[in-house]
Amino acid sequence: MVVASQKTGEAPASLIQPFEKYHVLKEVNTTHYRYFTQFPLSKPTLSALKSNGFTKMTDIQKMAIKHILLGSDVVVEAATGSGKTLAFLIPMLDRLYTSRVTSLDGPVAIILTPTRELARQITMVLKRFCTFFNFTMLNIMGGKTSVLKRQEWSTVSRANLLIGTPGRLAQHQTENPMLDLSNLQMLILDEADRLLDPTFRSDVDTIMTNLTPDRQTLLFSATQNSTINQLARLCMRNPVILSTASTNSGSTVPEKLLQSYAIVPLEQKLDILWTFLQSHCKKKIIVFFSTQKQVRYVYELFQQLRPYFRVMQLRGNMSQHRRFQVYDRFAATPTGCVLLATNVAERGLDFPTVHWVVQYDCPRQLDDYVHRVGRTARFGKAGRAITFLLPSETLLIDLLKERGLELKLQKFPESKINHFVSNRSPALLAAKPDIAVAARSAFTAYLRDYCLGAGSPNRKSACPADLGIAAVFNPADLPLAAFAVSLGLPSVPELPQRFLQWTTNPDNSSQAEVHRSSEDLVPWSSDILGPKPDFPVDSGDEDDFLLRKPESLSKKLPTSSQPSHKLLDVVDSSSSEDEQLLPLSPSENLAPTQQPQEVITPQQPKKPRKIGTGEFMLFSEGFLFSGASSWIAEHTGNPGPSVYYLRCPHLHIL
């Protein structure tokens, strides 16, 4: 159903008067149009459309093009993949061509987007169209090299079309004296609801206050809410509201999208994700996570497990070059590829033929759900989306139903779940310390984000209807210990006090208190460990940072006259579970009363090697001892200064 309305009963009052050739559109109902040629567009515009293979229009294009050509301010809500980009690019180019804009006029149109990827995508589409015009264009965004930034700084005043993010445009307005926006005719905000988040709100307000009121403003998004209406009241005059959503639905999703959800325990999420991706290894899939650190950990873990599919990651803290590189590679890969992403990829990005969208974590906003599932089933094609929900998060289904979104339950039989990830991750974390660090970071980041989504911890007396989507998240129900084990961690990492106040579950409280993680290395300057050693540690390879490469061994073994240091906690090292992961070689499997086979002295240098799982090492002032756990437990009464005791997969300080 197509809905068009206006905030008042008056005619659209825009300071930009429509050109005479567009007057015929005032009395015409363009919703019955089918082809672009039915609009009074200029020859270059029609040639550009024909050259790029665009002939038929979508519903939102039929409506939006008319009002934009007439010079009205417009607020547009349409389903993802419905052609919103062309809905504002075509009338924008045609109006600017009709007004005979040249490079001497400077910036006459600005397009703002929340992400660099979306700005770059719009720029690439514009390049295909601008070959038929004489307009100049410039992509303004952060993350550029110093050379490109200087070039942008000097050329921004001569570009007719500016496409970029709010932060960089606000910076130009406040710091670049060469930028003159007095001739601005059009301001376009793509994904406008996202642009009014606290992250962008101050920049957008700065931009609005520095623009001339004599302009046409266009807002586009797949989710129209009160935030957009607030912006419309601030910077628009009697805007026309256009929507392709049904009147009883607050959001829009593609018609051919099949939506489902699965109830997944937190400790089984990784195994079920692995099982799902392996069984769909020939598909093109996007997996959304809540935090960047989760994306990094799962990416590094899956890379080591060597799946049947190709794995890529896209997150906000990557460099701009790498983000664009991943975008291009994933867009060019037709099948057999999985993109692990954060909300950076949830809005506006057009990846061809995405078969599945998996929401690994429950979305923090209902609008986020709509935009994420909109990465598939675009432009009339079929697609599928599945959301993993914890047993305590099923309230989300009711909230989505209130917005007209129906999800079907999908079950994963226990007999079909492959526990390959949970079985292999402990050994991998032992062999790859950087992955172990990533696992800890992912655990803490997920819990922090989950608690922030829940709002205030003092909400027990609040009504679920008043809490909204915050009522979906119940941090006290999270099985922290089981979650840590599922990531390959032996215990719950140390949690900040503000997170522990959520863990009202007695199991969580005891686990968080007892299993405080103490495996982080104490700095060498610690008084307990003694002075810093006089040999360097090679940190060039993160994977091999446990491999010491001393240039010289000048220290001698400590004598009885040297002060001894009291041992801290010595954990039980007789676990057979770790030794089964990677058995010791016969030469290393010493008897309990047996002395170490070899002592490496300064006169007998030996090439150091990596430490295997289940093997125990002592580092003491450059000397290396190796032996079985029973021998170490019996012969570590006075190990001397600066001693490390390693029980794979965890490092403990003695």
What pLDDT sits at residue 123?
96
What pLDDT sits at residue 110?
97
| Residue 508 sits in the same domain as residue 363 | no
How far, in Å, CA of 119 to CA of 84, rounded? 14
Mean pLDDT of 145-163: 90
**What mean pLDDT is reported for the chain?**
77
CB within 8 A of 637, min separation 6: which ones? none
Length of the chain counted residue by residue: 654
Peptide bond into 649 cis (omega under 30): yes
Which is more confidently placed, 261 or 654? Answer: 261
| Residue 340 sits in the same domain as residue 451 | no
529-569 confidence digits (pLDDT tens): 333 333 333 333 333 323 333 343 334 434 444 443 333 33
| Residue 365 sits in the same domain as residue 382 | yes
What pLDDT sits at residue 507?
55
| Residue 650 sits in the same domain as residue 531 | yes
Mean pLDDT of 165-169: 95
How far, in Å, CA of 429 to CA of 437, rounded? 8
| Residue 269 sits in the same domain as residue 239 | no
Q: How confident is the model at residue 596 (pLDDT cuts 50, 70, 90)?
A: very low
How far, in Å, CA of 350 to CA of 84, rounded? 12
DSSP states of 307-334 as a string? -SSEEEEE-TTS-HHHHHHHHHHHHH--
Q: How confident is the model at residue 623 (pLDDT cuts 50, 70, 90)?
A: very low
Beta strands in 532-636 (DSSP E): 616-620, 623-627
What pLDDT sits at residue 234?
67
How distant is the alpha carbon of residue 279 from its chain centre?
24
Q: Domain for residue 60, yes or no?
A: yes
| Residue 161 sits in the same domain as residue 16 | yes
As for how many domains the chain has, the answer is 4
377-409 confidence digits (pLDDT tens): 988 889 999 999 999 999 999 999 998 899 999
216: helix, coil or strand? strand
Nearest CA to 621 out of 528, 539, 525, 554 is that of: 554
Which is more confidently placed, 236 or 233? Answer: 236
Q: What are phi and psi for residue 627, nearest 5 degrees?
A: 180, 180
Asked if 120 contacts 324 with a C-beta cutoff of 8 angstroms, the reply is yes
| Residue 62 sits in the same domain as residue 167 | yes
Q: Is the pLDDT of residue 294 over 50?
A: yes
Q: Is the pLDDT of residue 643 over 50?
A: no
Q: Domain for residue 267, yes or no?
A: yes
Q: Residue 431: which H helix or E strand, with range?
A: helix 420-431
For 562, the domain range is: 518-654
Q: What are phi and psi for residue 3, nearest 5 degrees?
A: -120, 135
How far, in Å, CA of 256 to CA of 376, rounded? 9
- Which range has the worst mean pLDDT, 407-421, 457-471, 514-528? 514-528
Of the candidates 379, 394, 420, which is a domain's last residue? Answer: 420
Q: How confident is the model at residue 18 (pLDDT cuts 50, 70, 90)?
A: low
Q: Domain for residue 250, yes or no?
A: no
Mean pLDDT of 456-469: 58
Of the candidates 474, 496, 514, which is a domain's last residue? Answer: 514
Which is more confidently placed, 385 or 144? Answer: 385
| Residue 97 sits in the same domain as residue 237 | yes
| Residue 434 sits in the same domain as residue 395 | no
User: What CATH code is carried by the domain that includes residue 152?
Assistant: 3.40.50.300
Mean pLDDT of 474-502: 85
pLDDT > 70: percent of the chain:
69
Mean pLDDT of 486-497: 86
